[in-house]
Structure 1
Amino acid sequence: MPPFSPDLMSDVRARFAHVDGCPFQGPRIFFENAGGALTLNSVVETSAKFAAIPDNQGRDNPAAHALVDLIAQSKADMVDFFNPRGGQFFVGESGTELTFRLIRTAVMGAPEGGAVIGSTVEHPASRSAATHWAQIAGKDYISVPHDDATGSVSAEAYAALMTPHVRVATILHTSPVTGIANDVASIAAAIRAVAPEAYIFVDGIQHASHGHIDIAAYDIDGYVISPYKAFSRHGYGVAWVSDRMTALPLEQLANGPRAHWEMGTRDTGAYATFSDVVAYLNWLGAQHSDSDNRRTRLEAAGAAIHDHEQALTQAMLHGTGNLPGLAELPGITILGGIDNPAREGLVCFALNHLPAAEIVSALNAQGIRTHVRKADHYSGNILNPLGLEAAVRVSMCHYNSVEEVSTFLGAMKDIAGAG
């Protein structure tokens, strides 16, 4: 599929803050979206507006009533965005905090004994939470190996290690290191086929900015995202939990509402800024669909984002104009393989003759923002099996352009040659 038209590209970029310039560096191309996406201008305005409001929810005054109504509207917007069947949404400190909390609730609330299962491709947030609480609860931890060549884990890999005694399972939707998505629905089905009562948690943090989320199709119990990676801002995470997860013993105030997950007074501005994200995606979907149904427009936005980012990654890998793609550079390793249809707007690579940190530094000197992933507690699970000490992560979103990819490839041609 072709990338966005020039007119649509201009309209999209106009809706984001600092799209082509850093307030500290000056002009720059932003290819560090996996570390945190650009922020919508509407989110910036909403954040300032609600930061100035002194009132809390739950009081009997006009401001408090308005705040409650805004939160209710945001949760309705979340329903359209995530498309769950039942359950509830709530916000917390961050995606990582919510990941720990949901996994802790599932592991400690599940029947005694049994096992927790997860994969080696997962971000340390879910893997650390699962192994930590499995040990405390006296449950075995089953580690499903991912495929080093594809940078993903399959339903078959889960099925090979499944047991009816699995109480909790964790799944990574998309890897923040390789950019490769996993088939959540098929993995969940493989888990349920053997342990139908297992509580299934999904880390959707890296996937959220790249399009389609359809919780109703996954048959899961928990899904978490970090909105600062999906065009909102830092300071909160969003979680969806199933009704059966809510029926477990929850950490909450004594004698408070039974099914209440939130602790303390939440930031209404966090909810309101997520509504800004949904409104933006609704607008983008309307550029690709004539439907009056908002969920249909959100699905159209997801499809358009996916197609545009596929065009960007194909150009980055295989070249554009007279510029060679990364795949043509000598001594290169592309994590997840060169032509992987599950790739979502991210190319992670290493050159055998030039350290990743030097590449990132050289690109930054030319105003191209990328990131080095080291074989540490964040990325060692992916890099160590490949024999890599570090790699360069180039992460894109739908507001990036083919012209920006061309500039990057021109810089990489010189950097690789110099190296």
Structure 2
Amino acid sequence: MFQPSPWRADFPAIAALERQHQTYLDSAATTQKPQALLDALSHYYGHGAANVHRAQHLPGALATQAFEASRDKVAAWLNAADSHQVIFTHGATSALNLLAYGLEHGFNEGDEIAISALEHHANLLPWQQLARRRNLRLVILPVNEQGFIDLNQALQLIGPRTRLLAVSQLSNVLGTWQPLPALLAHARAQGALTVVDGAQGVVHGRHDVQQLGCDFYVFSSHKLYGPEGVGVLYGRKQALEQLLHWQFGGEMVQLADYHAASFRPAPLGFEAGTPPIAGVIGLGATLDYLASLDALAVERHEASLHQHLLRGLADRDGLRILGTPQTALVSFVVDGVHNADIAHLLTEQGIAVRAGHHCAMPLLKGLGLEGAIRVSLAVYNDSDDLQRFFDALDQGLELLR
């Protein structure tokens, strides 16, 4: 039975892709953009762009007003206690690097940082390099066959020497929600700071950072239907106060002399230079659009499509799904067939999926795989998208096997 998307027409690129005979199933990498975002960008650039926080003239005042309004919208989206807890960066990767450098002073030789075995490179490499710089121990929390952090082992590995825990909310490869409440509570009891990579999780449902109880939460705008080049770092007030400044220049300085300077606190103190003004304003418009949707209807739509995808893949012989995906995406391999070959034949038939290690190379190596195919869904997808994918997959496998 055909399952339409009530929101498909809100995304002009989907119609454009259809005219190109393309079916877009790679939203975990980046999403298509709603008309509301395009309108906001056009309005900003078409009515007078200006730098923020620095000018008294009208264009500058209006840009600053719109920029800070977006900060308020992000704070409301996350249920942060105060908009000053929201720092804009140039992406989730930038936010995680900010944390790795800004918190470095708090680590001593022999301290431990705990991450999981399923982390995206963005939530692995900054901590790996910090551990190398400070001679720390990087503790890897194991993942079970179902695709979840093994809670029993994790609780044993996170101990008195653990100074920081950094874990993903939703795996970008396995599509599994991780057991954050128990992990975060245990890490806090050990006196460790906690970082949640919400790049995938923030897209699916509203997440209350106060209820979550993490010290820091990061995500990227471009996965949440917003512009590229914008990231968000939320921090608890007491946690933000532990950050040292790591980039220096305009905007973040309070007083400067030739041989000394003082710097602003968060958030402006960590937004050195000209920020991605249009992108931040665009993210605010995107959040307005998302807030206008029926959240329960979105959840049901995504869940129904996900079940359709899982059933279709399970029905095909020789195909193995990685983990037990719970939402939005599925990664799979086919016995005796290289993932790049499948991806090539899907691409030739106009199916846009992702192949490879998905920026989680250690996880794929641990699974004994060179890569996998990932199909990921968004609010604009419908059941016809999945049928075109299945038809293309069958044709491809017929040629390859």
Query: Normalised by the size of structure 2, how large is the TM-score?
Result: 0.88
Q: Which residue of 1 aligns with 2:333?
A: 350
Q: Which residue of 2 aligns with 1:360?
A: 343
Q: Which residue of 2 aligns with 1:150?
A: 146
Indicate how the Cα distance of structure 1 residues 3 and 114 shifts in structure 2: closer, same or farther if over 3 A, else same. Answer: farther
Residue 17 (structure 2) aligned to one of 8, 22, 30: 22
- 1:236 corresponds to which letter in structure 2? V
Q: State the identity %.
A: 24
Matches of 1:66 and 1:402, distance apart in 2: 43
Deviation, 1:107, is 3.4
Q: Which residue of 2 aligns with 1:330?
A: 317
Matches of 1:388 and 1:113, distance apart in 2: 33
Deviation, 1:240, is 0.9
1:172-321 matches, within 5 Å, as: 172-193=168-189, 195=190, 197-248=191-242, 249-251=244-246, 252=248, 253=253, 254-259=261-266, 260-285=269-294, 301=295, 303-318=296-311
Please state if 1:400 is matched with 2:381: yes
Q: Which residue of 2 aligns with 1:298?
A: none
Matches of 2:221 and 2:187, distance apart in 1: 28
Do 1:106 and 1:245's aligned partners in 2 also have CA atoms closer than 8 Å?
A: no
Do 2:88 and 2:231's aligned partners in 1 also have CA atoms closer than 8 Å?
A: yes
- 1:208 corresponds to which letter in structure 2? V
**Structure 1 unaligned regions, length at least 5:** 286-300, 319-324
Do 1:145 and 1:157's aligned partners in 2 also have CA atoms closer than 8 Å?
A: yes
Deviation, 1:54, is 4.0
Matches of 2:166 and 2:315, distance apart in 1: 37
- 2:300 corresponds to which letter in structure 1? D
Higher relative contact order (CA 8 A, sep 6+): 2
Deviation, 1:14, is 1.3
Matches of 1:394 and 1:407, distance apart in 2: 12
Query: Which aligned runs of 4 or more in structure 1 are off by greater than 6 angstroms?
Result: none
Matches of 1:350 and 1:258, distance apart in 2: 48
**Structure 2 unaligned regions, length at least 5:** 254-260
Do 1:154 and 1:182's aligned partners in 2 also have CA atoms closer than 8 Å?
A: no
Query: Normalised by the size of structure 1, how large is the TM-score?
Result: 0.85
Query: Comparing 165-174 with 58-67, which one deviates more in the overlay?
Result: 58-67
Matches of 1:15 and 1:95, distance apart in 2: 26
Please state if 1:55 is matched with 2:50: yes
State the Cα RMSD in Å: 2.3
Matches of 1:276 and 1:394, distance apart in 2: 27
Indicate how the Cα distance of structure 1 residues 105 and 155 shifts in structure 2: closer, same or farther if over 3 A, else same. Answer: farther
How many matched pairs?
382
1:58-69 matches, within 5 Å, as: 58-69=54-65
Matches of 2:198 and 2:237, distance apart in 1: 19
Matches of 2:231 and 2:273, distance apart in 1: 15
Task: Give SS of 1:235's match.
Answer: coil
Please state if 1:391 is matched with 2:384: no
Deviation, 1:3, is 9.6
